[in-house]
Amino acid sequence: MGAYQVLIVGAGFAGSEAAYRLAREGVRVGLLTQSLDSVMMPFLPPRPPFPEGSLLERAYDPADERLWAFHARAKYLLEAERNLHLFQATATGLLLEGHGVVGVSTWEGPPVRAERVVLAVGSFLGARLRIGEVEEEAGRLSEASYPDLFQHLLALGFRFLEREGEVPETPTTPGYRVRYRAFHPEEWEAATFRLLRLEGLYALGLCVREGDYALMSQEGLRLAEHLLHELG
Ligand code: FAD
């Protein structure tokens, strides 16, 4: 594939939902995420109600609440969409031309070009995960948070708030907390999802607003509707 019409960074609940809907409407979408093993990976099992017709609803199986099984069903649905290219890479910065964003640079090397770039990076900007006395750079259990993209955004002048989330102990995982950065509300326009500092740049999901899986999915669908309108 050449340049994407829309490139989404982060295949979590919000980014995956948006990519799925856009691709089903015929938009050429790239969905770039740092690990294919964590596509749409929940902290705890999702619980309905979910937005009707959403990817979240399709991937949910009340008879099988295993997190890995939910992730596998969602990934399969994404991979089966012909206009959607799901691939593993870590975004390290934005490619800029004038005041506009034309893609992202990646840790792996090849730049990825797109007409529009959406940051849907969840709890991974400047993230610190704490289990008891142990602290590490991670946005979720077993998933590192790399500093490059966050440092790049800081250097461009973006402002952030600090947020925190907690995961209770379960029979198979320890309890832990994640501290992360979200874009400052003045950087983001809720109606258009735009990060106002640069043209062609949008943000979605937990990196701009708090909420549960259903809200993240709803926001993904709302972004898709907005971009479909913009793309005509
Ligand atoms: P995520 O689902 O986190 O997805 C972001 C994706 O972006 C990740 O897959 C990550 O790998 C990828 N990524 C990050 N940086 C890069 C990069 N530079 N390049 C490429 N890919 C990148 N909500 C609930 O309903 N139930 C819960 O139990 C729950 N528990 C939570 C626990 C914690 C600790 C936190 C912080 C939040 C929790 N939430 C929960 C709230 C929220 O619903 C979830 O965090 C949800 O996963 C957010 O969706 P998202 O798409 O914004 O981000």
Rounded mean pLDDT for each run of 10 residues along the chain, 232 residues in total: 88 98 98 98 95 98 95 98 98 96 96 98 98 95 95 98 96 94 98 98 98 98 98 94
Ligand 1 atom nearest to 90, measured from its CA: 19
pLDDT at res. 2: 59
Around ligand 1, the residues with Cβ closer than 6 Å are 9-15, 32-35, 38, 43-44, 90-91, 120-124, 143, 149, 165-167, 178, 205-206, 211-213, 216
pLDDT for 173 equals 87
Site to probe by mutation for ligand 1, drawn from 17, 20, 40, 43 as the one with most ligand atoms within 8 Å of Cβ, is 43
Q: Whose CA is nearest to atom 2 of ligand 1?
A: 12
CB 164 within 8 A of CB 177: yes
Three-state secondary structure call for residue 30: strand
* Ligand 1 mutation pick, 124, 169, 209, max ligand atoms within 8 A of CB: 124
Cα 193 to middle of ligand 1, angstroms:
18
Q: What is the pLDDT of residue 1?
A: 44
Using CA positions, which residue lies closest to atom 22 of ligand 1?
10
Contacts of 195 (CB under 8 A, 6+ apart): 119, 158, 183, 187, 188, 201, 202, 203
Query: What domains can you pick out in the chain, each with its CATH number?
Result: 4-122+184-231 (3.50.50.60)
Q: Residue 85: phi, psi to the nearest 5?
A: -110, 105
Q: Residue 134: enclosing H or E segment and its boundaries? A: strand 134-136
Give me the interface pTM, i.e. the ipTM: 0.99
pTM above 0.90, yes or no: yes
Q: Whose CA is nearest to atom 30 of ligand 1?
A: 43
